[in-house]
Structure 1
Amino acid sequence: MSTAQLVVQHLPYLRRYARALTGSQAAGDAYVAATLETLVSDPATIRAEGNVKVELFQVFTRIWNSLSVNGRGEQIQRDLPAEVRIGQITPLPRQAFLLSSLEGFSEAEVSHILDVDGKAVQDLVEEAGRELAADMATDILIIEDEPLIAMDLEALVESLGHNVTGVARTRTEAVKLANAKRPGLILADIQLADGSSGLDAVNDLLKTFEVPVIFITAYPERFLTGERPEPAFLIAKPFQPANVSAVISQALFFQQRARRPEMRASA
C-alpha cells in the first residue's frame, strides 16, 4: 500500500481533530488541505514504514503552530457547544487534550506530535482539564466511604466550580441521593462501607437515567483488563487532584459532544 493510500485512511480522524481544534469544520478542513498540499510537494515528509497517522498529525501540527494567530487563547464563551468552546482554551494544552482524549494517542505519540517531552504532555493535559472543568460546571454525586477521601474530592470538585449534590457511603444512600437530585456526573468508589459495590450502585442509577461516571479504585488492574465492558473513566488511588480534574473534563466533554448529534436528530 502506498503512502498516499495510508494517509487517506487517517483523513477522517484528522478532520475530526481539526474541527475540534479550530471550532468549525470549514476552518479545520482548511488546515487539513494545507497539510495535504505539504505532503504533495514533499512526499518524503511521511514514511510508509513509520507510524503514518502520527506523522500525518505531526505535519498538521507544524502548520497549525506556525501561525501566530493560533498561539492566542481566548475568553471562553459558555453559551457555545463543547466542541466550539474547547477551541477557546489555551492552545497547546488544547492540542494535548484533544490528541490524547479525543483521538486516543498514547503519551509517547502525543509527545512526538507536539515535539515536547512526556512530562510536558502530562502537564498540558492536566492544564486543559482544569480550564475545561471550570467551564463545564455541573452537579456531581460522590460515592465514597472513606471520609477523608470524600472530603478531598468534595473540596476539589467545588474548587472547579461544580456543585456536590451529596456524598454517599453505601449503595442505598447513593440511589436515595440520586433520586432526590439527579446529578450531571458521578464520582464512584468501587468498594463501599457496607460491603456493597459502587459498580452496583451505578448500575442501579443507570437504569433510570444516563450520566457520565468516573470510577475511583485502588485496584485499577482488576477493571482495565482489555475486555468489555470496562469503565470508560477510571482513576487510581491515591489520585492526584490535577488528574481528577482532567478526567472530569474528559467525561463532561464527551457527554456534551454525544448530545449534539442527538439534538440535531430530534430537531
Structure 2
Amino acid sequence: MTARILIIEDEALVAMELRFVLEDLGHEVVGVATTAKGARDMAREIDVDLALVDIHLSDGPTGISLGRELGQDMGVTVLFMTANPGMVRDGVAGAIGVLSKPTDERCVQKAIDYALRCRHGEPVEYAPPGLQLFA
C-alpha cells in the first residue's frame, strides 16, 4: 500500500533521510515543510494521505496544533515524529500516535503501514514497537 506523504520537519538532514526512506518504500513524498504555515499551504493544494509531523518547527512549537488541524479539519492521517514524545503523551485529536526520534527505517516502515491500514479501515492487531498510540 503506497501513500502520498507530507514531511513536516525543520531539520534538513532529518527530512532528507526520511524522504529517502519513504521513497525507497515506494511512497510518494509530496513535499517537505519546515513551518506550520508552509505545511498548511501544501496540504490545501496537494492531496495528502499521511503527514509525518515534528512538534518543534522553525516557527516554534507549532506542530501539535498543526497536527490537530491536519487530522481533524483536513482528513490527513497524522503521525508525530519527535524527540520530545512527552509533549503529546495525552494524545492529540486527529492524530494516530507518536514515534520517538531518533528512529530507524524499519520502525518508520511499520508505523506507516499501521497508520495506512487504520486510514483504510483495515484490521490491525497491535501497534508496532516504537509507535505510541493515542487513545
- 1:152 alignment counterpart: 17
Root mean square deviation of aligned Cα: 1.7
- 2:62 alignment counterpart: 197
CA shift for structure 1 position 207: 4.6
Identify the structure with bigger relative contact order (alpha carbons < 8 Å, sequence gap 6+): 2
Say if 2:112 is the partner of 1:252. no
The Cα offsets for residues 124-148 of structure 1, whole Å up to 9 and x where unpaired, read as xxxxxxxxxxxx1010000000000
Identity of aligned residues (%): 36
Q: What letter matches 2:121 in structure 1? A: R
Give the structure with the larger strand fraction: 2
Is the 2:81–2:98 Cα contact (8 Å) retained in structure 1?
Answer: yes
- Output the TM-score relative to the length of structure 2: 0.81
- Output the TM-score relative to the length of structure 1: 0.43
CA shift for structure 1 position 179: 1.0
Query: In the aligned structure 2, how far is the partner of 1:163 from the partner of 1:190?
Result: 22
Query: In the aligned structure 1, how far is the partner of 2:66 from the partner of 2:92?
Result: 16
- 1:178 alignment counterpart: 43
Runs of 4+ in 1 over 3 A off after TM superposition: 227-231
Is the 2:84–2:100 Cα contact (8 Å) retained in structure 1?
Answer: yes
- 1:222 alignment counterpart: 87
CA shift for structure 1 position 214: 0.8
The Cα offsets for residues 133-190 of structure 1, whole Å up to 9 and x where unpaired, read as xxx1010000000000000111111111110110000000000111110201110101
Residue range with higher mean Cα deviation, 179-188 or 140-149: 179-188
Flag the structure with larger Rg. Answer: 1
Is the 1:233–1:247 Cα contact (8 Å) retained in structure 2?
Answer: no
Structure 2 unpaired stretches of 5+: 123-135
Q: What count of residue pairs does the alignment treat as equivalent?
A: 121
Give the structure with the larger helix fraction: 1
Is the 2:80–2:97 Cα contact (8 Å) retained in structure 1?
Answer: yes
CA shift for structure 1 position 194: 1.6
DSSP 3-state at the match of 1:233: strand
Residue range with higher mean Cα deviation, 231-240 or 163-172: 231-240
DSSP 3-state at the match of 1:201: helix
Structure 1 unpaired stretches of 5+: 1-135, 259-267
